[in-house]
């Protein structure tokens, strides 16, 4: 069986570079994954914002953030907060950008930086600085509920830094007085208002606030009872007993052969896509909200079983349908297949000259087909593939027709220069330039609200 990792990110997390907590503890500069071509954007670097920790050291401290880990500088939405801006429940993601994963809100979802009340400095990192009117800061109120979506009603202002309209880089660091009348987990919202557009950038910072008390320096107890409760040819299911802490355990790190492979809030973890008939060594560490790390658990050696040839294909994908079309795209979705071992991925086929040809693969049950012709009929089928490479029978055929195109505007070119007011078509939607700029080939710029605004959907 040829096992493969499903993403480059997973490989990075399993490499030595992915041991974010160890890297930070050693004082090594955090690695932040930002495209070199990012335009006029920024984020709070110190103390590290939620999105910064999604990006630094390959997301070792804030896991499973989605594509925002590559775009921490791009949380942009209309300004005017708190009267305007992103709606309640979507404040952290600036209106639901990058799938809205940043809006997930529980007491233990995100890593917290420990700070004390009083004067604190907040430093922004700009990939290229806009002219700026002000920055303003907010914090969650006493008694807020960390297990509910973040809303305006739970935030109160703590400081404003006015600016003269010059570049944001002229004022990198701000001193803000953080309240001293509350303790524990709080969220600070930092907003950067751009002077020459209608937009602002939004960053939330998760903090463990310590006031009028001794900082928590006590690490959780060593995890015990580590056990391999279920072992197969390709996976090991681990369980262990909960650690104790003077305040509370936040999460557990799972290490395989000395490298962090995952972080979970509970006491179970399944390590998947392993090699058959291979021995692995596991340990567990407990972390509290102050960042204290326990001693490693006793080592557990677990050996995967001999591989039994898997000849059973997954079930046929059902319910193939379109979630929407434009003049150039078709958004496909279907129900998951089942398999005796596990479905690895799905293959999407599109008919051409009477033959179904593979056009792509998906790790989940959705796929966006792009660069299509307007007002054209297309036929699709989907199959499921398991870890052994067994492919299911094809789904039922789906017929979809793209929408009519708009020949009034030219197609957007990522390398072209545009003037404010220019209109272009991109993936079936019409956009209008909000300022003059020269493109450099970055395909994400059409989605930057500081450059383009959608004016008409096709």
Domain boundaries, the chain: 31-210, 224-303, 318-401, 410-457
Q: Which residue has the higher pLDDT, 199 or 137?
A: 137
0.75 surpassed by pTM: no
**Are domains 318-401 and 410-457 of this chain identical in fold?**
no
Q: What would you measure as the largest C-alpha separation in the chain, in angstroms?
A: 74
Beta bridge partners of 423: 432
Determine the average pLDDT of the residues in 44-65: 91
Query: Could you tell me which of 200, 169, 195 has the C-alpha nearest to residue 84?
Result: 200
pLDDT computed for residue 93 by the predictor: 96
* Residue 11 pLDDT greater than 90, yes or no: no
Element (H, E) at 9: helix 8-14
* Residue 289 pLDDT greater than 90, yes or no: no
pLDDT computed for residue 213 by the predictor: 64
pLDDT computed for residue 7 by the predictor: 38
For residues 103 and 187, the answer to whether their CB atoms sit within 8 Å is no
> Dihedrals φ, ψ of 57, to 5°?
50, 40
Please state, in angstroms and rounded to a whole number, the distance separating the CA atoms of residues 208 and 310: 49
pLDDT computed for residue 426 by the predictor: 87
pLDDT computed for residue 348 by the predictor: 98
Determine the average pLDDT of the residues in 268-276: 92
For residues 252 and 259, the answer to whether their CB atoms sit within 8 Å is no
Contacts for 364 with CB less than 8 Å, ≥ 6 apart: 346
From the candidate CATH numbers 3.90.1150.10, 3.40.50.300, 2.60.40.10, 3.30.230.70, the one assigned to the domain spanning 318-401:
2.60.40.10
Determine the average pLDDT of the residues in 382-406: 91
Determine the average pLDDT of the residues in 16-43: 45
Determine the average pLDDT of the residues in 23-42: 46
Cβ neighbourhood burial of 74 (10 Å; 0-12, 13-18, 19+)? buried
pLDDT computed for residue 128 by the predictor: 64
Contacts for 170 with CB less than 8 Å, ≥ 6 apart: 129, 163
* Residue 8 pLDDT greater than 60, yes or no: no
* Residue 1 pLDDT greater than 50, yes or no: no
Determine the average pLDDT of the residues in 266-275: 92
DSSP class of residue 237 equals E
pLDDT computed for residue 299 by the predictor: 97
Q: Which residue has the higher pLDDT, 438 or 220?
A: 220
pLDDT computed for residue 23 by the predictor: 33
pLDDT computed for residue 406 by the predictor: 60
For the chain, give the mean pLDDT.
86
pLDDT computed for residue 304 by the predictor: 95
* Residue 307 pLDDT greater than 90, yes or no: no
Beta bridge partners of 333: 321, 366
Q: Is 264 helix (H, G, I), strand (E, B) or coil?
A: strand
**Range scoring the smallest mean pLDDT among 22-36, 98-112, 441-455:** 22-36
**Range scoring the smallest mean pLDDT among 1-15, 192-206, 222-236, 327-341:** 1-15
Please state, in angstroms and rounded to a whole number, the distance separating the CA atoms of residues 173 and 57: 23
pLDDT computed for residue 198 by the predictor: 85
* 31-210 maps to CATH 2.70.50.50: yes
Please state, in angstroms and rounded to a whole number, the distance separating the CA atoms of residues 234 and 322: 34
CATH superfamily for 224-303 is Immunoglobulins (2.60.40.10)
> Dihedrals φ, ψ of 154, to 5°?
-90, 0
* Residue 12 pLDDT greater than 50, yes or no: no
* Residue 228 pLDDT greater than 50, yes or no: yes
Q: Which CATH code fits 410-457?
A: 2.10.10.90
* Residue 347 pLDDT greater than 60, yes or no: yes
For residues 115 and 206, the answer to whether their CB atoms sit within 8 Å is no
Please state, in angstroms and rounded to a whole number, the distance separating the CA atoms of residues 375 and 195: 41
Please state, in angstroms and rounded to a whole number, the distance separating the CA atoms of residues 31 and 361: 30
């Amino acid at each position: 069986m040829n096992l493969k990792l499903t993403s480059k990110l997973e490989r990075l997390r399993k490499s030595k570079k992915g041991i974010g907590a160890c890297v930070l503890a050693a004082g090594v500069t955090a690695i932040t994954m930002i495209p070199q071509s990012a335009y006029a954007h920024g984020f709070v670097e110190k103390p590290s914002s939620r999105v910064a920790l999604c990006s630094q050291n390959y997301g070792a401290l804030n896991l499973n953030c989605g594509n925002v880990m590559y775009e921490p500088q791009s949380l942009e939405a209309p300004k005017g907060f708190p009267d305007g801006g992103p709606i309640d429940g979507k404040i952290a993601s600036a209106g639901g950008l990058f799938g809205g994963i940043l809006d997930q809100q529980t007491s233990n979802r995100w890593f917290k930086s420990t700070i004390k009340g009083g004067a604190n400095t907040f430093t922004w990192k700009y990939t290229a600085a806009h002219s700026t009117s002000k920055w303003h800061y907010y914090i969650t109120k006493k008694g807020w509920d960390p297990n509910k979506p973040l809303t305006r009603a739970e935030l109160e202002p703590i400081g404003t830094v006015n600016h003269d309209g010059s570049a944001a880089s002229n004022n990198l660091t701000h001193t803000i007085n953080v309240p001293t009348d509350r303790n524990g987990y709080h969220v600070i919202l930092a907003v950067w208002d751009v002077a020459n557009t209608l937009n602002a950038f939004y960053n939330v910072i998760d903090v463990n606030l310590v006031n009028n008390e001794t900082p928590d320096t006590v690490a959780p107890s060593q995890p015990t009872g580590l056990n391999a409760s279920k072992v197969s040819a390709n996976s090991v299911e681990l369980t262990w007993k909960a650690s104790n802490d003077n305040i509370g355990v936040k999460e557990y790190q799972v290490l395989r052969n000395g490298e962090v492979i995952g972080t979970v809030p509970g006491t179970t973890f399944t390590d998947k896509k392993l090699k058959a008939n291979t021995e692995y060594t596991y340990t567990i560490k407990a972390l509290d909200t102050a960042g204290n790390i326990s001693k490693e658990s006793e080592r557990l050696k677990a050996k995967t079983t001999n591989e039994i040839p898997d000849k059973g294909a997954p079930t046929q994908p059902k319910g193939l349908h379109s979630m929407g079309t434009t003049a150039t795209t078709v958004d496909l979705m279907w129900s998951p297949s089942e398999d005796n071992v596990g479905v690895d991925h799905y293959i999407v086929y599109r008919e051409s000259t009477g033959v179904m040809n593979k056009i792509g693969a998906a790790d989940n049950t959705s796929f966006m087909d792009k660069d299509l012709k307007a007002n054209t009929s297309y036929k699709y089928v989907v199959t499921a593939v398991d870890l052994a490479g067994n492919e299911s029978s094809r789904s039922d055929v789906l017929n979809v027709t793209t929408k009519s195109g708009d020949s009034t505007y030219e197609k957007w070119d990522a390398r072209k220069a545009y003037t404010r007011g220019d209109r272009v078509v991109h993936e079936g939607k019409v956009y209008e330039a909000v300022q003059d700029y020269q493109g450099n080939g970055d395909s994400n710029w059409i989605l930057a609200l500081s450059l383009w605004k959608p004016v008409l959907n096709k």
